[in-house]
Structure 1
Amino acid sequence: MQSKVVVGNAHSEGANRSGWFLGHFINPIDDIRSTSDLEVKWGMHPAGDGRSEWAMNEEATTLSILIKGRFRVQFPEQEVILSREGDYVLWSPGVPHSWSAESDCTILTVRWPSKSGDSVAVS
């Protein structure tokens, strides 16, 4: 049986999964970080980093919180700039989005639920 207390480093543990360190994709499945309830990402993005292609989650709600830096999230009808520590943006399933780091920044993102294949490209 796995420990009921886990200590780690979000940055290093998520390095092989684009920053995602808690969710359905963690093995072994009896690790308390393996859950379909939610997934968590520690994103460290250099200035200019981004995803220009549109994507959306079919079932997951997403919350992104700025830890440091300046980060832009684009939606079809709106653009959001996170510029103060603690600024956040929350969006529902089915909302297309893209993003870019305007400066070196760190973003904490939480999605729920955590489901394989839920993130899809949008044309």
Structure 2
Amino acid sequence: MQPNVVFGNAPLEGANRGGWFMGHFITPSDDPRSLSNLEVKWGVHKAGEGRTQWATNVEATTLSILVKGRFRLQFPEQEIVLSSEGDYVLWLPGVPHYWSAEEDSTILTVRWPSKSGDSVATPTQGEQS
């Protein structure tokens, strides 16, 4: 029987999944954190860490909120720097992005829906037509 209340520790529970602790990838499927409509990540990134290749979510909308640190996100048309606690950026499906932590940073990311294989590598902007 599925519990009505679940508690835990996001960094510990997401440690084996790159910080993701809620979403379609949680097993067993009767766990309340196993969701197809939402996934949540507690991202802890050291200064200088980043993803240097463009990635795009095919169907998911993404919201990233700065908990602490300084975090830079690059989009095709603009660069966003999250520098104050609570700064956030939301982007729609189909928007390429990459990121870097300028300081040790903690980011809470919510993405919906939660679908396997939705995040795909994309060519660099110079290669796109």
* TM-score band w.r.t. shorter chain: over 0.9
What is the CA-CA distance between 1:3 and the residue it aligns to? Answer: 1.1
Normalised by the size of structure 2, how large is the TM-score?
0.95
**1:3 aligned partner:** 3
> Which SS does the other structure have where 2:55 is aligned?
strand
* Aligned Cα root-mean-square deviation (Å): 0.4
Q: Distance in 1 between matches of 2:4 and 2:114?
A: 20
> Which SS does the other structure have where 1:64 is aligned?
strand
**When you count strand as a share of all residues, which structure comes out higher?**
1
**1:36 aligned partner:** 36
Q: Distance in 1 between matches of 2:107 and 2:29?
A: 26
The one-letter amino acid of 1:47's match is A
Q: Distance in 2 between matches of 1:34 and 1:89?
A: 25
> Which SS does the other structure have where 2:74 is aligned?
strand
> Which SS does the other structure have where 1:98 is aligned?
strand
Alignment of 1:101-112 (within 5 A): 101-112=101-112
Q: 1:48-97: CA deviations, max 9, x gaps?
A: 00000000100000000000000000001100000000000000000000
**1:69 aligned partner:** 69
Normalised by the size of structure 1, how large is the TM-score?
0.99
Alignment of 1:1-123 (within 5 A): 1-123=1-123
What is the CA-CA distance between 1:2 and the residue it aligns to? Answer: 2.4
